[in-house]
Amino acid sequence: MTDVDVARDVEHANLKDMSDMDVDNVYVLMDVQLRERPGPRELYKRWEKQNWAVHDLDFTKDKEDWALLPDEIKGEVVYGLQAFFLGEVCVTETLSPMVHAAPTTQDQQFLSTQLVDEARHAIFFEEFFRNVLGIDGLDALKNDPMFQVYTDGNEPGYGKTFFRDLPAVTEAVREDPSDYKKWVTSIVLYHMLIEGMLALYGQRQLLQATRAFNILPSFRAGFTAVTRDESRHVNYGVYALRRAFEAGLHDHIVASALEYMDGPVDLLTRPQNQIILPPEEFMAMVPPELQQGNFFEEWEFPLVQLRKRLGGAGITSEAIDTLDLFWRSRIVDNTREYEDRFGEPHPAIGRDPEGWANLQSKVGSAVR
């Protein structure tokens, strides 16, 4: 099959088909759409054809699977699920100013569909948490000690990105909807950094794991549908930034990305949290392809996605190289900060000393 054939299969798949779909096929769809350059009206048409209903999912088998999982696996999965649940709630609450300030009616119409998508994604997680994890929605989640950490805007990484930067950027759009540059900044943060880097990375991790273990079939179906929805959002972001590039805002787009990239890097590398790797007996249960043997290679995945999308929007290779260097340099800084804070090397170094040496070499060569 060609990549176009794979993309069309993903586009036409129903909710049931998505339980067994390889999430990487959704990324193939994104790359094909990047070449096809759909605008907001074409993306709106795809939204109409690809709608799905949370309440068509039956979580009975998922609940049975969850009960049989070892506690070590549950802990790892819940950490990621909580982050996604709160993230979907946050992006739903902050998108409306961007809809109102969008430059054309067609932009507003597509972004309105995205607002519906984000609400559906939040409801999807709410239903999964209630029916499978026994956590009765967002209010019950607030009782978890991690909730305060997630939502603290002063906390590097997740808190800063979702509960300080995103609300501040979208509030600036609400206060001055006629300022096109502020709207473009919100697209950079929302569609490129949060959806195009963080969400794609996290979705891939969770879906590969649940598919490899053949567990949580309704979660897999729903979350793959979420990922396909996100593919429309991200490609809309490429379209919007391409229009901004054509309007002479190349440097503004790059500056906006640089200003807000620290949060996503910190979220992935977690220099402020001591990382306890699962015991060896647990790792023996994990398929080799899912073991985090090379953290540094995995942290390149979001960067590769950003390079593709910004390149598609017209951003020069030289400018994207600047973003690459920022990303990699902050990984180096965070890895060293981790050791200073906890008195031991970051687990990434222990798992992949060669990758650590290569990363430092890349950063050093770029600086010289």
pLDDT digits (tens, 9 = 90+) for 89-136: 999 999 999 999 999 999 999 999 999 999 999 999 999 999 999 988
The pLDDT assigned to 276 comes to 74
The pLDDT assigned to 144 comes to 73
The pLDDT assigned to 340 comes to 94
The pLDDT assigned to 279 comes to 61
- Per-residue pLDDT of 245-302, as tens digits, reads 999 999 999 999 999 999 999 999 999 888 876 666 555 666 555 555 578 888 999 9
365 pLDDT more than 70 = no
Residues 6+ apart with CB under 8 A from 365: none
The pLDDT assigned to 368 comes to 43
pLDDT mean over 202-224 = 91
d(CA 86, CA 98) in angstroms, rounded, equals 20
| CA atoms within a 13 Å half-sphere pointing along the CA-CB vector of 40 | 19
State both tokens at 366: 């770029």
Confidence band, pLDDT 50/70/90 cuts, at residue 78: confident
Residues 304, 237: contact at Cβ < 8 Å?
Answer: no
d(CA 368, CA 364) in angstroms, rounded, equals 6
The pLDDT assigned to 280 comes to 62
Helix (H), strand (E) counts: the chain: 22, 0
d(CA 60, CA 8) in angstroms, rounded, equals 30
Which amino acid does the sequence have at 317?
Answer: S
Largest CA distance in the chain: 58
Phi-psi region of 297 (alpha: psi -120 to 50; beta: other; left: phi over 0): alpha
Q: 146 vs 199, which has greater pLDDT?
A: 199
